[in-house]
Structure 1
Amino acid sequence: MTTRRKFLTSGVLAAGASTLAAPALAQAPIKWRLQTYAGAALGAEVIKPAIDQFNAIAEGQMEIELYYADQLVPTSELFQAMQRGTIDAVQSDDDSMASPTDVTVFGGYFPFASRYSLDVPVLFNQYGLNEIWAEEYAKVGVKHISAGAWDPCHFATKDPINSLEDLKGKRIFTFPTAGRFLSQFGVVPVTLPWEDIEVAVQTGELDGIAWSGITEVYTVGWANVTNHFLTNNISGAWIGHFFANMDRWNELPPHLQTLVKVCFEQSHYHRQHWYWGGEADLRVNGPKLKLTTIPDAEWAQVEKAAMIFWDEIAAESEVKAKVVSVFKKYNAVMEKAGRPYRYS
């Protein structure tokens, strides 16, 4: 009996008391707010599938709330809002969100830095750009999560562009660095909120757009207000990224950090094939835009000017010089490799 009493008091009852004293508590899910540069129509392809996928796999441990262009803050203020922690994460290029880093000028469309979409992941994963971006953003309290290739940069315009002369005086919505480069050919760069572009072309405030390839021109409605698409491009692929506030990133447990990376990498892959297939299909089957081309001999002037532009940018800082040297090294290898990597 003594043994039985001891078991009841020190065993079963004590264990029950312990259980009642410390009940299991449900942990509240981690919530992030992520804003993209893209409007809702484009965001349906370039970001929403990845966010939906992440939230499903996270199973309540974490939820990412998605906001489209300018919903929480203007695109030009995305970096500051993320740095302050007003929002937790961003999908954008460096250029559009006015990042205060030495690599900002290379975001979006740095002229002729890439010829094809696969160039971008190779440059970041095999030629050292990931490490450069990570270091530069860590200096300003931001986690660079990953970079990916998006669409090429072409002109969609009301009037046809058949020569460099036709570019003169054209008011074009484009990225800051692309605008800086194109201004030497008479282009007048215009900055407006992304959602206002279609109306601005309709009203004549803009003559055209140099913001994307033909897939995006159709997807977001710009093909409804422009008439022509120039087949020459100043870049074969946009460089876009995912970023996060560094404190928010460091608060995540390792398995959720990994899940974020995997889902965002899948997003890069989805965009790459979505854009690539659309660029070909809509040139051939798209019913709204007439294709025009500036002859190769004349377009060579633009390519030559880009190399001068690269050297001008490289002279501005050691970091910029380092990035430009990577572009030069990579392009030299591609030129020597020949088809299908580069065409002479």
Structure 2
Amino acid sequence: MTNRRSFLKNAGLAAAAAPVVLAAPHVKAQDKKITWRLQTYAGAALAEEVVRPCVDAFNKAANGQMVIELYTADQLVPTGELFRAMQAGTIDAVQSDDDSMNSPVDIKVFGGYFPFASRYSLDVPTLFHKYGLAEIWDEAYGEVGVKWLSAGAWDPCNFSTNKPIKSLADLQGLRVFTFPTAGKFLEQFGVIPVTIPYEDTPVAMQTGEIDAVAWSGITEVTTVGWDSVVKYFLTNNISGGWCGSFFANADRWKEVPEHLQQLWRVCMDSSHYRRLHWYWGGEAALRAGGSKLELTSIPDAEWKTVEEKAFAFWDEIAKQSERNAKVVKILKDYQAVMQKAGQPYRYG
């Protein structure tokens, strides 16, 4: 909070005012070194795993020509204001999902955990690189002054709670910290979505402000210490892989020489690759007995009704814009291919 107050003061921001561009130049005249401020959605502990390695690798390989300064969740601006701050040039780059940072684009609903859009983490990069989502994201953000750079997968979305969840009825009245679109979908099952700052989650669980988090898989719950304030972990999930991206202010991106742009792309790819195996292996090991949380499950037949409701939810989202309809069609086409391919792509 001290860093954030200092940052906002120096930037000349008031709480009720829109973000403004900082007076400090992005390129230092004396040595031409480019300095970026990148804020991630992740808290300090998680950031060490999901973004710090690629930032450190870039800074070392850039050999003094460019430095990326990394800031964690809400450190400079609240997560919900990340897009506006980046668009205005208050910060230079962001790692987040579209939904959490409140992007003013129609496709923001597909960021984070769009219900049942993925079964496994590999579905996310496949959809972007082989089914055309990359071109759609690039087009959408190009319309609002932000450069979409790269998308990747994180962990699945499970419920972590202080009471055992063994049926859909147990979700009734559950106050849950989750992502905006996921929360909207879950309301039909009696869930009450609650919005709080990411770093306030443990205290909110302890005080009873929230009853559960549907924010991550078990690896993240353990890494950030939430396993000390929850008791149960529901093995059913509403998405197999969180969809997040790296973004940059469009003007700042143009200032970066081509060889450094390419270097950053390689480092982002390395980050996506690292998370694939870090989460995949972590989820399995912890669920197999490495966690102190008790695992619970809703029967498959009952959970199947949730998945069926998701497809109806997709159709509602498709009505919002032509571009959303195009994304939903891609998701449906992809699901059909995966089902036809059978095991190991899809079971049941």
TM-score bracket, normalised by the shorter chain, equals: over 0.9
TM-score, normalising length: structure 2: 0.91
The correspondence for 1:62, drawn from 59, 66, 79, is: 66
Q: Give matches, 1:288-299, under 5 Å.
A: 288-299=292-303
Between the two proteins, the alignment pairs up a number of residues equal to 320
TM-score, normalising length: structure 1: 0.92
- List 4+ stretches of structure 1 deviating above 3 A: none
Q: Secondary structure at the match of 2:311?
A: helix
Partner of 2:189: 185
Whole-Å Cα distance in 1 between the matches of residues 299 and 98 of structure 2? Answer: 32
Cα deviation for residue 28 of structure 1 reads 2.8
Q: Secondary structure at the match of 2:176?
A: strand
Amino acid at match of 2:119: R
Deviations 1:297-337 (A, max 9, x none): 11111011001000010011101000000000001000000
CA radius of gyration, larger in: 1
Partner of 2:12: none
Amino acid at match of 2:275: R
Cα deviation for residue 26 of structure 1 reads 6.4
* CA shift in 2, pair 1:251/1:200, >3 Å: same
1:234 aligns with 2:253: no
Cα deviation for residue 288 of structure 1 reads 1.5
Whole-Å Cα distance in 2 between the matches of residues 331 and 319 of structure 1? Answer: 19
Cα deviation for residue 287 of structure 1 reads 3.7
Amino acid at match of 2:216: S
Q: Which runs of 5+ in 1 are unaligned?
A: 1-24
Q: Secondary structure at the match of 1:136?
A: helix
Amino acid at match of 1:88: D
Partner of 1:271: 275
Whole-Å Cα distance in 1 between the matches of residues 291 and 307 of structure 2? Answer: 30
Cα deviation for residue 284 of structure 1 reads 1.2
Whole-Å Cα distance in 2 between the matches of residues 26 and 318 of structure 1? Answer: 48
Partner of 1:128: 132
Q: CA RMSD in A?
A: 0.9
Partner of 1:165: 169
1:95 aligns with 2:103: no
Q: Which runs of 5+ in 2 are unaligned?
A: 1-28
Whole-Å Cα distance in 1 between the matches of residues 60 and 323 of structure 2? Answer: 39
Deviations 1:71-94 (A, max 9, x none): 110000000000000000000000
Cα deviation for residue 129 of structure 1 reads 0.1
Q: Secondary structure at the match of 1:60?
A: coil
Amino acid at match of 1:258: Q
Whole-Å Cα distance in 2 between the matches of residues 313 and 132 of structure 1? Answer: 16
Q: Give matches, 1:65-84, under 5 Å.
A: 65-84=69-88
Whole-Å Cα distance in 2 between the matches of residues 69 and 299 of structure 1? Answer: 32
Q: Secondary structure at the match of 1:91?
A: strand
Amino acid at match of 2:329: S
Amino acid at match of 1:292: T
Amino acid at match of 1:110: F
